[in-house]
Amino acid sequence: MDSPKLNPVDRIVELISGGQSFVLQGGAGSGKTESLKRVIQKVLSANPSLRITCITHTNKAADEISDRVSGDVLVSTIHSFLGEVISPFKRNIQQVFPKLFELPEFVALGDDHYNGDETLRKKEEHDRFKKAHGQLENRRRTVLGEDTAKVTGKREYDKEPDTYNAQLNRLIGEVNKEIRDKLASRQPREFFYNDTAFDNFNDPSYGHDGLIALACHMFESFPLLGRIVSDRHDCIFIDEYQDTSADVVRVLLRCLPEDAKTVIGLFGDSEQAIYSDGIGSAQSHIDAKELILVVKEDNYRCSPQVIDFSNKFRTDGLKQGVALKSLDNGTLETLESRQGSVKLVYDLAPPQIDTGDKAEDRKTNTASFRRALDALVEKTASDYPGYVQLKLTNKSIADDVGFGMLYRIFDDRYSEPRDRIRKTLDRLQFGELIDLVALYKSFPGDRRSYNRLIAKLRRRGFSVTSVADKAKLDKMLHSFESEDRAAYEAIKYAAECGLIKFSDSHKAFVDRRNELLAKLADDAVFTEFEELHRNGHRTKAQMSKEIAAMNMKHISVEILEGEYEDRLNDLKQKNFLDSLFSTELQLSEILAFYEYEDGEGDFSTMHKTKGTGIENVILVIDEYGWTTEYDFVSCFTKEIPESRREIASKKLIYVACSRTKTNLVCVRLMKSQEEADQIASFFPETVKL
């Protein structure tokens, strides 16, 4: 019998007693972790022998939950939990390990996929072909130690796409077979978890994502694994479920035995799923009656004004309301003490320049917009001192925080620099180094951090057994803070010291860099193209005019016409790689970027806004830098979001706004007065500067 009148905690306790799995959906500030604690207390009070496991995503979150729950409850990160489940079964790991490296067959998409647009189909199909070819290049180099013939150009590919696709798939089949054969020849004991972000083929080990993938493959391939988990755990609770891999949720709900009585409980909020690698919503499992939905509408964090404003951006229909907290003296806070404000501060963007030169106009207008936006934010910050800024990682904030050069290197190469920075730095293993430095900085007094540091280093073969070893380690890690050095030189030093071990992915990145630079150095046409660009001839028209006038030796107007975009892309890539590995880029910039990403300091990112509340916030609502991923205007013009982009935009606005405790000031540089009027209608108060 359903009991809708029960409060969420009692409702969950009722479901657990009936052996039913559930999902607690609660908005920001609803006290989901506190509810998790109370659920554990109540079910253990009724049945002290219940075996409960809580799964989190980070060690920090695991520590926080461990400190808040009592009783014999296992609290673990998702990686530790799955690692302990699969690690004893080395032979089974070996059997599924090839799935981490095998490449999928390339399948062409037909005209229907492109709605009959042949021009678009040809372009997109060749782009897909190039991407698959690049993956093949990396895999053949790693597995076979061999180079692969240069990718076929679009002109040739368009003539016989089926032929080239067949050739690609033949090579994919060959390398996949070699992957299976080589891994089958290893000993089961050789396969291990390396506690990094990357999987390694030649030194067969799996990283963070590989562990998740392997575990899910093993659950599906070996049903006994599900039986083992169900025999060990009566309840498995996952905190912040929306950031959990969809495959992990699926195997826990569907790969345990049918007669298993293990209850799976998810705690989180689908509206706060702003990362692409998590399940996001559990709606499909709710629809399949695998989970019972329990809604929690309380908000213990925000002022009524912020709650009302934030509710406008939820896409699931849940409407949060004020919930009053208990004070230390045993009384409830008053509604009056929770009052705050929400207002919009805006200005109009400067008029756009149109000289007919699209490339130059775009550059000019972008710079003009940035200056105006920075001025608007600076003025607002001076009017509201002490407010924390949530804004995009643009050039101005990068300079303020200390990674301006790093940002410019990526901004000159990519349209979405922020995501590219993190992915590239992680691939070059800066994330590993920063993680070690962060654990080191927790000394003294944080025994957990020390133990984690030692465990990580031991997995890399770095022995810490004596006082001398500890002194040596202290000197090395301290040097990354005290001695500023070139960024990539620091990575090489860390590898030489044994603090990190270069991954296959790292080696492939460096190999491709070296190959590209060597190829371009021997390319006479590119050399002349680069010289033209360096001398101020930045457009195709300008270059064509100069080539015709100078009668250059290797490059002609005809060559430029057919190869301009490819040559420009090569130049951008060369400049990017030269700058990224240059001695001018300092490690201090990398450290500043990771500190900013983790929300430390006076600024906070729009991308990573979940967590504890901030008293007063200036939220910069602007798409600049995320133009292909977000569309914030749609949040104020469409009641029901339609595209994935619109849904993501609305969720991000909700997450950012609902982090505010008391006063929220939203800032936007408007494209027009019409846009300003439309957006202003959402706010109780508006100020035009």
Which pLDDT tens digit goes with each residue over 474-530? Answer: 888 888 877 778 999 999 999 998 898 898 889 989 988 998 899 899 999 999 999
Please state, in angstroms and rounded to a whole number, the distance separating the CA atoms of residues 462 and 379: 51
pLDDT of residue 1: 36
On the question of a cis peptide bond just before residue 204, with omega within 30 degrees of 0, the verdict is no
Q: Which stretches in the chain have pLDDT values below 50?
A: 1-4, 392-393, 601-602, 604, 606-610, 626
> What is the pLDDT, as a whole number, of residue 685?
96
Q: What is the pLDDT of residue 606?
A: 45
Residues 6 or more apart in contact with residue 164 via CB below 8 angstroms = 129, 152, 156, 157
d(CA 239, CA 26): 12
Radius of gyration in angstroms for the set of CA atoms belonging to the chain, rounded to a whole number: 28
Task: Please report the pLDDT score of residue 628 as a whole number.
Answer: 62
Contacts of 331 (CB under 8 A, 6+ apart): none
Determine the pLDDT at residue 23. Answer: 97
Separation between Cα atoms, residue 123 and residue 532, nearest integer Å: 28
Give pLDDT tens digits for 19-53.
Answer: 999 999 999 899 998 899 999 999 999 999 999 99
Q: What is the signed CA dihedral for 507, 512, 513, 517, rounded to 10 degrees?
A: 140
- Beta carbons of 527 and 574 less than 8 angstroms apart: no
Q: What is the β-pairing status of strands 614-620 and 660-670?
A: parallel
SS3 breakdown of the chain: % helix, strand, coil, rounded to 5? 55, 10, 35
**Residue 680 confidence (pLDDT):** 96
Distance CA 458, CA 273 (A): 34
pLDDT of residue 609: 44
Read off the pTM. Answer: 0.81
H/E run at residue 92: helix 90-96
pLDDT of residue 420: 86
Sign of CA dihedral 470, 471, 475, 481: positive
Query: Which one, of 156, 172, 176, lies nearest residue 164 by Cα?
Result: 156
